[in-house]
Amino acid sequence: MKTYSKNQLRRYPVYLRVLRELEAKGNGFVSSNQIAQLVGNSEEQVKKDLAAVSDASGMPGRGRDLRRLVHDLEAFLGYHDVTRAVLVGAGRMGQALLDYPGFQQMGLDIVAAFDSDPVKIGTRLGETEVKDVATLEEFLSLEHPDILIDCVPASAAQAIADIAVRNKVPGIWNFAPTVLDVKESTIVENVNLASSLAVLSHRIKPLLS
Amino acid sequence: MKTYSKNQLRRYPVYLRVLRELEAKGNGFVSSNQIAQLVGNSEEQVKKDLAAVSDASGMPGRGRDLRRLVHDLEAFLGYHDVTRAVLVGAGRMGQALLDYPGFQQMGLDIVAAFDSDPVKIGTRLGETEVKDVATLEEFLSLEHPDILIDCVPASAAQAIADIAVRNKVPGIWNFAPTVLDVKESTIVENVNLASSLAVLSHRIKPLLS
């Protein structure tokens, strides 16, 4: 099996986005050079990245078949399969994710949401019913979702992760601002706003007066 | 000036979090090895990362002074200074960010929010008044914030970025799922949920039945 670095994996959805935009504008072909300019990477990197997931190689003076490239990227990213997720923590961040229009396109189906707040339990957010977090463990053991989206406050995030690990949920998508301690058999991907802000703040420093 | 890779910058808030947790538990000292285990990196990397931002070197058998290390990390990350931001797009994602309790600790002050929805304009979200996005350009030219947080739908994100660039806002924190085209004098940091999901989905693949 090929191996891909995290940074490389992160680039594929960005390629897909610019390719879809080109397709929507009526283009049928695209060159590596065009893609490189649109995403701001080197042409060499674009060629290497695309070769790893698609054999839609370019024809001289014409470029690559755009529709085929889009298809291959979607297939590689798993967008043609359904990934079943549960979301825990229906606060603003959780609600923002339940509302996020892009997930359906990515094959991500949030099948249930959980919260501990009696005011929220039983209500619907979009198409998803908010269930009592006390029933989370039973739900996981019966429904075996692929991903648990952890959107609870930092102080509660580890307890939720423990329930996921106990019930062998393969992946935790962690939006809680804390480091989760899980067994190696569970994969954690953190969306860390503090880390993202650290990069931005450092890079704008020379521009501040 | 020292240079730091993006990945290295991303690690500092994670170190800071585990160090604060240790401090809250009453610890006064910490070893590189302890930190390495808590964050899941190698001890060698922890030593190198910390040496680049703090001279709180460890004493054999005792470790580093925790309070000093926390102080040095906060100072490096700019948490002791105020970074002024405006947020554009008061949808669920924007509201989640306005509510995010961690920003104050990071020195990030969201001084104003903007939206185009007449129902939202004039309301308050937490302590922040939502203003008409038609007044954004004037606000930027008068107030010179450090960061514009772009939370509008993908179709509107570039137009907002253009206004930021025209008014020389140093940094754009982009939550819109699109690639922004900006001049080199403006720094863009993307929070790309699709990229994060791509990493998670790929890594859990071998675990799916």
Average pLDDT over all residues of chain A = 92
Q: Is the Cβ pair A146, B204 closer than 8 Å?
A: yes
Statement: residue B118 has pLDDT above 90: yes
Percentage of residues of chain A with pLDDT beyond 70: 99
Q: Is the Cβ pair A194, B93 closer than 8 Å?
A: no
Q: Is the Cβ pair B195, A13 closer than 8 Å?
A: yes
- The closest CB to that of A9, out of B13, B198, B204, belongs to B198
Chain B residues within an 8 Å CB radius of A17: 177-179, 194
Nearest-Cα residue of chain B relative to residue A35: B179
Chain A residues within an 8 Å CB radius of B171: 200-201, 203-204, 207
Q: A39 CB contacts (<8 Å, ≥6 apart)?
A: A11, A14, A15, A18, A46, B179
Give the H or E element holding residue A84: strand A83-88
Statement: residue A196 has pLDDT above 80: yes
Q: Higher confidence at residue B101 or residue A115?
A: A115
Q: Higher confidence at residue A6 or residue A162?
A: A162
Statement: residue B1 has pLDDT above 70: no
Q: Which whole number is the average pLDDT over B126-155?
A: 95
Statement: residue B60 has pLDDT above 90: no
Q: Which whole number is the average pLDDT over B163-190?
A: 92
Nearest-Cα residue of chain A relative to residue B90: A96
Statement: residue A1 has pLDDT above 70: no
Q: Which whole number is the average pLDDT over A43-63?
A: 88
Question: CA of A16: how far to CAs of A4, A43, B31, B158, B174, in Å?
Answer: 17, 16, 44, 18, 18
Statement: residue B132 has pLDDT above 70: yes
Q: State residue A40's pLDDT score.
A: 81
At B121, the pLDDT band (50, 70, 90 cuts) reads very high
Radius of gyration for chain A, computed over Cα atoms and rounded to the nearest angstrom: 20
**pLDDT tens-place string over residues A197-206:** 999 999 998 8
Q: Which whole number is the average pLDDT over B139-146?
A: 97
Chain B residues within an 8 Å CB radius of A156: none
What distance in Å separates residue B162's CA from the closest CA in chain A?
Answer: 16
Average pLDDT over all residues of chain B = 92
Chain A residues within an 8 Å CB radius of B205: 78
The ipTM estimated for the assembled molecules is: 0.91
Statement: residue A101 has pLDDT above 80: no
Statement: residue A24 has pLDDT above 80: yes
Interface test with B, best of A12, A182, A204 (most B CBs within 10 A): A204
Radius of gyration for chain B, computed over Cα atoms and rounded to the nearest angstrom: 20
CA angle B190, B188, B174 (to 5 degrees): 40
Q: Which whole number is the average pLDDT over A71-78?
A: 95
Chain A residues within an 8 Å CB radius of B165: none
Q: Which whole number is the average pLDDT over A147-172?
A: 95
Q: How far apart are alpha carbons A77 and B198 in whole angstroms?
A: 6
At B62, the pLDDT band (50, 70, 90 cuts) reads confident
- A27 with A66: CB under 8 angstroms? yes
Chain A residues within an 8 Å CB radius of B187: 200, 203-204, 207
Q: Which whole number is the average pLDDT over B31-44?
A: 90
- The closest CB to that of A10, out of B189, B192, B205, belongs to B192
Classify the phi-psi angles of A168: left when phi > 0, otherwise alpha if psi is within -120 to 50, otherwise beta: left
Q: Higher confidence at residue A205 or residue A117?
A: A117
Q: Higher confidence at residue A173 or residue A127?
A: A173
